[in-house]
Structure 1
Amino acid sequence: MSDIISGSDPSVIESKSNFDSGRISDVKAWLASQFDAAGKDVPDFEYTPRTIAHLHNLSTLSQAKTQAAGIVATDFRQKAAEYRCQAARVREILENVGLAQEGLPSNVVASAQCLANVANLLNTRDTELSSFLVAMGDMSLRKTGVEEKRAKVQKESKILLDYTRKAIARLTYLKRTLAQLEDDVAPCEAQMENWKTNLAIMVSKERQYLQQYSNYKALLNRVGYTPEISHGVLVEMAEHRKDLEKKTKPILDTLRSYQDLPPDKALAALAIEDKKRQYAAAEKHLEDVLHSALATSE
């Protein structure tokens, strides 16, 4: 940074310092004039570049406005002097023709004053009838414009009032709904807790049923269960078994009756062989029926 400063142009640095000192002197002079006009002393503060720039802008703006106000005031004073001269000339003319204000009746003075007030109200340059007519027309136009704006504003106010009423009704409904919902919070929370408890129980039961299903499936696989062995097949096989039991029961009764006969080894052997053949035929018939039932189910 020092290299930059040392390498800069000395003339630029000198002009900048002169410019800053000139600004500070201008600001001090302006502050002194302002506080002297108010009858107070200038307070002490630090003159930084930021404050100097801000105060310099304020002083420039204030001086410009003061100059403009002085010009306007000079113009007003000049106009007032011209009006006073014109008033004196008009008063002199009126006195010469015998129409001075002191010599006029009170009602004439009151009428003239009323006429002047109306002229001032209508902002007319003179008291000619044409000026009054133009002013009245302008006032009528402004009255019409004001009435139109008033009607528009009343219409908008009516619309806004309608919107406001609807908004108040909706707000009341929302407040009532909110109060009802707040009243329903406690029962709903209790019901939610009940549902959570039931859900936990159902989850536990689901895990239990899934475990039982897995156990039953493993058991069925272990005993060799296949989907072909359905309930209908088992019922059909049971019915065939009952039929075979009915058919084999007389044979078993006959065999049991042979137990009461006197022992004859040859006849007993023949009878046993005969019953064995009949029993083997019955078993073969049962197997055939079972195989046919299984084939039918497939």
Structure 2
Amino acid sequence: MADLPPASDPTRIAEVKAWLASQFDAVGKDVPEFEYTPRAVAYLHNLATLSQSKTHASSIVANDFRIKASEYRSQAARIREILENAGLAQESLQANVVSSAQVLANVANLLNIRDTELSSFLVAMGDISLRKTGVEEKRAKVQKEFKVLLDFTRKAIARLTYLKRTLAQLEDDVAPCEAQMENWNTNLRVIASKEQQYLQQHANYKAMLNRRGYTPDISHGVLVQMAEHRKELEKTTKPIMDTLRSYQDLPPDKALAALAIEDKKRQYAAAEKYLEDVLQSALATSE
């Protein structure tokens, strides 16, 4: 669209008014009242220019058609005069001849040829034959594509049916799955609560072990090994303790008793040293 003219352009407004008056006068009506804004004037001016150019072009084509029609009428009159002079006027021809000529003319018009020469008919028939062959080839191609599309449509319908059945099955499984998910959520909440509880208990036990002086060096394996050594030491010290108890039944002899006590003390100290060495060896091995 052209640029909008200024609102005070009298030339364009006059052209628009004149064009509107001519158009509405042609149908016997008055031009309706409206405001000639710059946008309306620009639109109507472009429309008037386009209409006038098309009207001029159509008048040229119409004049050309009138000239050709006049020429065709003149040629038809000349041909009719020639036929009448040769005794071949339509009125003097037999009905079957007129009918055959009319059929020949109709066929010529159908084949879109300018004359009724045999060569023109042959060329037109050859052209129709070629077009027929092309149409048949296109028809075969379209049928092949149609078969492909039909097969694709059948497969699509089968898949759609399968998807609908699957959707229906999934919709039926929604309620049980929701119940199972709710059960899982409940179990997860319980497990989370237990986890917090166990973490708190672990922290409490760890603090308790720290207060009791527990170190990672005192492991279960070390304690088991120390218990085994304790049992061995108990087996070793049991005869000594039995001997000491037997001395209680002897008459008191201060010198012998002192010697015996000193001997047992040495044995007891040796056993304690052995236990300490075993414990130190076990701790070193665990590290």
Q: Corresponding residue for 1:198?
A: 187
Give the Cα–Cα distance (whole angstroms) in 1 for the partners of residues 236 and 95 of structure 2: 156
Q: Corresponding residue for 1:281?
A: 267
Q: Deviations over 1:37-66 (max 9, x none)?
A: 222222221111111111111111111111
Q: Corresponding residue for 2:278?
A: 292
**Is the 1:122–1:135 Cα contact (8 Å) retained in structure 2?**
yes
In the alignment, structure 1 segments of 5+ residues that lack a partner are 1-15
Q: Corresponding residue for 1:215?
A: 204
Q: Corresponding residue for 2:157?
A: 168
Specify the code of the residue in structure 1 equivalent to 2:82: I
Paired residue total: 280
**Is the 1:32–1:42 Cα contact (8 Å) retained in structure 2?**
yes
Instruction: Give 1:86-125 correspondences, 5 Å limit.
Output: 86-125=75-114
**Larger CA deviation: 191-200 vs 283-292:** 283-292
Please, what is the CA RMSD of the aligned residues? Answer: 2.8
Q: Corresponding residue for 2:172?
A: 183
Q: Corresponding residue for 1:64?
A: 53
Query: Structure 1 length as normaliser, TM-score?
Result: 0.81
Q: How many angstroms does 1:179 deviate by?
A: 2.6
**Is the 1:26–1:56 Cα contact (8 Å) retained in structure 2?**
yes
**Is the 2:108–2:115 Cα contact (8 Å) retained in structure 1?**
yes
Q: Corresponding residue for 1:141?
A: 130
**Is the 2:7–2:37 Cα contact (8 Å) retained in structure 1?**
no
Query: Structure 2 length as normaliser, TM-score?
Result: 0.84
**Is the 2:15–2:45 Cα contact (8 Å) retained in structure 1?**
yes
Assess, with a 3 A threshold, how the Cα gap between structure 1 residues 237 and 229 changes in structure 2: closer, same or farther: same
Identity of aligned residues (%): 72
Assess, with a 3 A threshold, how the Cα gap between structure 1 residues 91 and 129 changes in structure 2: closer, same or farther: same
Give the Cα–Cα distance (whole angstroms) in 1 for the partners of residues 228 and 60 of structure 2: 132
**Larger CA deviation: 174-183 vs 23-32:** 174-183
Assess, with a 3 A threshold, how the Cα gap between structure 1 residues 296 and 161 changes in structure 2: closer, same or farther: same
In the alignment, structure 2 segments of 5+ residues that lack a partner are 1-5
Assess, with a 3 A threshold, how the Cα gap between structure 1 residues 93 and 240 changes in structure 2: closer, same or farther: closer
Q: Corresponding residue for 1:267?
A: 253
Q: Deviations over 1:76-123 (max 9, x none)?
A: 122222222222222222222222212222111111000000011111
Q: Corresponding residue for 1:12?
A: none
Q: Deviations over 1:5-51 (max 9, x none)?
A: xxxxxxxxxxx788x21222221121122122222222221111111
Give the Cα–Cα distance (whole angstroms) in 2 for the partners of residues 156 and 251 of structure 1: 110
Give the Cα–Cα distance (whole angstroms) in 2 for the partners of residues 176 and 250 of structure 1: 87
Assess, with a 3 A threshold, how the Cα gap between structure 1 residues 276 and 43 changes in structure 2: closer, same or farther: farther
Secondary structure of the residue aligned to 1:225 is coil
**Is the 1:251–1:275 Cα contact (8 Å) retained in structure 2?**
no
**Larger CA deviation: 282-291 vs 61-70:** 282-291
**Is the 2:19–2:48 Cα contact (8 Å) retained in structure 1?**
yes
**Is the 2:90–2:98 Cα contact (8 Å) retained in structure 1?**
yes
Q: Deviations over 1:209-239 (max 9, x none)?
A: 2222223223333333333333333333333
Q: Deviations over 1:231-281 (max 9, x none)?
A: 3333333333334434444554455555566xx6x5267437624641552
**Is the 1:233–1:297 Cα contact (8 Å) retained in structure 2?**
yes
